[in-house]
Protein backbone atom coordinates (compact mmCIF):
# COMPACT_ATOMS: atom_id res chain seq x y z
CA UNK A 1 0.00 0.00 0.00
CA UNK A 2 1.31 3.43 -0.92
CA UNK A 3 2.03 5.90 1.81
CA UNK A 4 1.98 9.65 1.52
CA UNK A 5 5.14 11.40 2.62
CA UNK A 6 6.46 14.94 2.77
CA UNK A 7 9.85 16.66 2.70
CA UNK A 8 10.63 20.37 2.95
CA UNK A 9 13.38 22.95 3.00
CA UNK A 10 13.64 26.62 3.98
CA UNK A 11 15.80 29.07 2.05
CA UNK A 12 16.53 32.38 3.78
CA UNK A 13 15.95 35.45 1.62
CA UNK A 14 17.83 38.72 1.37
CA UNK A 15 15.52 40.17 -1.28
CA UNK A 16 12.03 41.52 -0.84
CA UNK A 17 9.43 38.79 -0.33
CA UNK A 18 7.14 40.65 -2.73
CA UNK A 19 9.70 40.47 -5.54
CA UNK A 20 10.63 36.86 -4.79
CA UNK A 21 7.00 35.68 -4.63
CA UNK A 22 6.15 37.87 -7.61
CA UNK A 23 8.72 36.05 -9.72
CA UNK A 24 7.05 32.66 -9.18
CA UNK A 25 3.58 34.23 -9.35
CA UNK A 26 4.06 36.23 -12.55
CA UNK A 27 7.36 35.40 -14.29
CA UNK A 28 7.99 31.68 -13.87
CA UNK A 29 8.63 31.40 -17.61
CA UNK A 30 11.88 33.32 -16.98
CA UNK A 31 13.34 30.21 -15.30
CA UNK A 32 14.50 29.19 -18.79
CA UNK A 33 16.54 32.42 -19.15
CA UNK A 34 17.84 32.52 -15.58
CA UNK A 35 18.75 28.82 -15.33
CA UNK A 36 19.41 27.57 -18.88
CA UNK A 37 21.46 24.63 -17.60
CA UNK A 38 18.42 23.41 -15.60
CA UNK A 39 15.36 24.48 -17.61
CA UNK A 40 15.07 23.97 -21.37
CA UNK A 41 11.52 25.13 -22.08
CA UNK A 42 8.36 26.56 -20.55
CA UNK A 43 4.96 26.61 -22.27
CA UNK A 44 1.37 27.25 -21.29
CA UNK A 45 -0.80 24.17 -21.89
CA UNK A 46 -4.03 25.49 -20.34
CA UNK A 47 -4.51 29.19 -19.59
CA UNK A 48 -2.39 32.17 -20.56
CA UNK A 49 -1.27 33.48 -17.18
CA UNK A 50 0.06 32.00 -13.95
CA UNK A 51 -3.17 31.67 -12.00
CA UNK A 52 -5.12 28.86 -10.35
CA UNK A 53 -5.97 26.00 -12.75
CA UNK A 54 -3.30 27.04 -15.27
CA UNK A 55 -1.26 24.12 -16.60
CA UNK A 56 2.31 24.69 -17.78
CA UNK A 57 4.79 22.32 -19.34
CA UNK A 58 8.43 22.38 -18.27
CA UNK A 59 11.40 20.63 -19.79
CA UNK A 60 14.17 20.37 -17.21
CA UNK A 61 16.99 18.25 -15.89
CA UNK A 62 17.97 17.37 -12.35
CA UNK A 63 21.74 17.45 -12.69
CA UNK A 64 21.85 14.56 -15.13
CA UNK A 65 21.90 15.19 -18.85
CA UNK A 66 18.55 13.46 -19.26
CA UNK A 67 15.81 15.89 -20.28
CA UNK A 68 12.60 15.44 -18.27
CA UNK A 69 9.15 16.88 -18.92
CA UNK A 70 6.30 17.65 -16.57
CA UNK A 71 2.91 19.23 -16.92
CA UNK A 72 2.33 21.23 -13.75
CA UNK A 73 -1.05 22.57 -12.64
CA UNK A 74 -1.19 25.60 -10.38
CA UNK A 75 -3.77 24.31 -7.91
CA UNK A 76 -3.80 27.24 -5.48
CA UNK A 77 -2.46 30.77 -5.81
CA UNK A 78 -2.89 32.82 -2.64
CA UNK A 79 -1.47 36.32 -3.08
CA UNK A 80 -2.45 37.43 0.44
CA UNK A 81 -0.59 34.61 2.20
CA UNK A 82 2.03 34.39 -0.57
CA UNK A 83 1.89 30.72 -1.40
CA UNK A 84 1.42 28.64 -4.53
CA UNK A 85 0.61 24.94 -4.76
CA UNK A 86 1.79 23.12 -7.88
CA UNK A 87 0.63 19.60 -8.81
CA UNK A 88 2.27 17.34 -11.38
CA UNK A 89 -0.51 16.12 -13.66
CA UNK A 90 1.57 14.48 -16.39
CA UNK A 91 5.16 13.70 -17.24
CA UNK A 92 8.32 11.94 -16.13
CA UNK A 93 7.97 12.73 -12.42
CA UNK A 94 4.80 10.60 -12.32
CA UNK A 95 6.78 7.53 -13.40
CA UNK A 96 8.30 7.45 -9.90
CA UNK A 97 5.56 9.12 -7.86
CA UNK A 98 1.80 8.52 -7.96
CA UNK A 99 1.28 11.95 -6.40
CA UNK A 100 3.72 14.86 -6.57
CA UNK A 101 2.61 18.21 -5.17
CA UNK A 102 4.88 21.15 -4.37
CA UNK A 103 4.04 24.13 -2.19
CA UNK A 104 6.03 27.36 -2.25
CA UNK A 105 5.38 29.62 0.73
CA UNK A 106 7.17 32.94 1.11
CA UNK A 107 7.25 34.16 4.72
CA UNK A 108 8.11 37.62 6.01
CA UNK A 109 10.54 37.20 8.92
CA UNK A 110 8.86 39.92 10.96
CA UNK A 111 5.58 37.97 10.76
CA UNK A 112 7.20 34.61 11.44
CA UNK A 113 6.80 33.10 14.91
CA UNK A 114 10.42 31.93 14.86
CA UNK A 115 11.86 35.18 13.48
CA UNK A 116 15.29 35.18 11.91
CA UNK A 117 14.51 36.83 8.60
CA UNK A 118 12.32 36.13 5.61
CA UNK A 119 12.40 32.77 3.87
CA UNK A 120 10.96 30.63 1.12
CA UNK A 121 9.68 27.25 2.24
CA UNK A 122 9.36 24.49 -0.36
CA UNK A 123 7.33 21.43 0.63
CA UNK A 124 6.93 18.34 -1.53
CA UNK A 125 4.07 15.95 -0.78
CA UNK A 126 4.47 12.68 -2.64
CA UNK A 127 3.43 9.06 -2.91
CA UNK A 128 6.09 6.71 -4.27
CA UNK A 129 5.10 4.47 -7.19
CA UNK A 130 6.86 1.61 -5.38
CA UNK A 131 9.07 1.09 -2.34
CA UNK A 132 12.30 1.21 -4.39
CA UNK A 133 11.78 4.84 -5.43
CA UNK A 134 13.97 7.28 -3.50
CA UNK A 135 12.66 10.35 -1.71
CA UNK A 136 12.66 13.31 -4.16
CA UNK A 137 15.64 15.09 -2.55
CA UNK A 138 16.91 16.02 -6.04
CA UNK A 139 13.82 18.19 -6.53
CA UNK A 140 14.47 19.96 -3.21
CA UNK A 141 18.02 20.66 -4.42
CA UNK A 142 16.59 22.16 -7.61
CA UNK A 143 14.24 24.37 -5.56
CA UNK A 144 17.12 25.50 -3.31
CA UNK A 145 19.24 26.45 -6.35
CA UNK A 146 16.32 28.27 -7.99
CA UNK A 147 15.55 30.15 -4.78
CA UNK A 148 19.15 31.21 -4.24
CA UNK A 149 19.47 32.37 -7.84
CA UNK A 150 16.21 34.35 -7.84
CA UNK A 151 17.04 35.81 -4.42
CA UNK A 152 20.53 36.85 -5.56
CA UNK A 153 19.09 38.46 -8.69
CA UNK A 154 16.59 40.55 -6.73
CA UNK A 155 18.86 41.38 -3.79
CA UNK A 156 21.56 42.81 -6.09
CA UNK A 157 18.94 44.82 -7.99
CA UNK A 158 17.32 46.13 -4.81
CA UNK A 159 17.61 49.81 -4.00
CA UNK A 160 19.18 50.53 -0.60
What own/partner pairs with CB < 8 Å and gap ≥ 24 does 153-156 have? 153/15, 153/34, 154/15, 154/16, 154/19, 154/20, 154/23, 155/13, 155/14, 155/15
Average pLDDT, integer, range 84-113 = 90
For residue 119, is pLDDT > 50? yes
Q: Write down the mean pLDDT value for the chain.
A: 91
Give domain limits for the chain.
Answer: 4-156
Residue 125: CB atoms within 10 A of its CB come to: 17
- Banded model confidence at residue 11, pLDDT cuts 50, 70, 90: very high
- Banded model confidence at residue 112, pLDDT cuts 50, 70, 90: very low
For residue 113, is pLDDT > 60? no
Q: Which CATH number among 1.10.20.10, 3.30.530.20, 3.40.50.880, 3.30.70.330 corresponds to the domain 4-156?
A: 3.30.530.20
Confidence (pTM)? 0.91
b vs e for 107-119, b when ≥16 Cβ sit within 10 Å of the residue's Cβ?
beeeeeeeeeebb
Q: Which residue has the higher pLDDT, 56 or 2?
A: 56
Count Cβ atoms within 10 A of the Cβ of residue 126 and give its class: 0-12 exposed, 13-18 middle, 19 or more buried.
buried
- Banded model confidence at residue 2, pLDDT cuts 50, 70, 90: low
Q: Which residue has the higher pLDDT, 28 or 110?
A: 28
Amino acid sequence: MSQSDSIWVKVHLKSSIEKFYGFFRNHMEDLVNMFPEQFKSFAFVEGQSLSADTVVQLEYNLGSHQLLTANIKLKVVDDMKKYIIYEAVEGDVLKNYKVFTTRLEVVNGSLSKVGGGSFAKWTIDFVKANENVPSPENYLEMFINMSKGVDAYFSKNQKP
